[in-house]
């Protein structure tokens, strides 16, 4: 894997039928394909949170993928916030529920 180009951070909360349908694994695969670092995790309220850092273009592609989701998912809303990168991540992983 190439060293990711860290330009910016994207925090996204996805709502709909996004738990129990492979959504986190879908995000993990897309993020790794795009050379993005960060985390994906289920939220106790039924949503999924994604915090990712990388190039603006890679994060825009990830955001587009989040709006679609895996086949079994139903994405009702995607709330995204662009933030300054912090450099806290070195890989992309599935994190514990919060």
Active site residue 74: no
The Cα-based distances of 73 to 17, 28, 65 in angstroms read 5, 15, 12
Active site residue 42: yes
Of 2, 42, 71, 98, the active-site residue reads 42
Question: Contact at 8 Å (CB) between 30 and 13?
Answer: no
Of 2, 17, 24, 41, the active-site residue reads 24
Residues assigned a catalytic role: 24, 42
């Amino acid at each position: 894997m190439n060293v990711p180009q860290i330009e910016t951070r994207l925090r996204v909360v996805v709502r709909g039928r996004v738990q129990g349908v492979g959504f986190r694994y879908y995000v993990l695969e897309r993020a790794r394909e795009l050379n993005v670092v960060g985390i994906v995790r289920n939220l106790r309220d039924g949503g999924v949170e994604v915090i990712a850092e990388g190039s603006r273009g890679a994060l825009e592609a990830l955001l587009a993928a989040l709006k679609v989701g895996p086949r079994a998912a139903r994405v009702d809303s995607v709330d995204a916030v662009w933030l300054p990168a912090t450099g806290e991540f070195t890989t992309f992983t599935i994190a514990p529920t919060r």
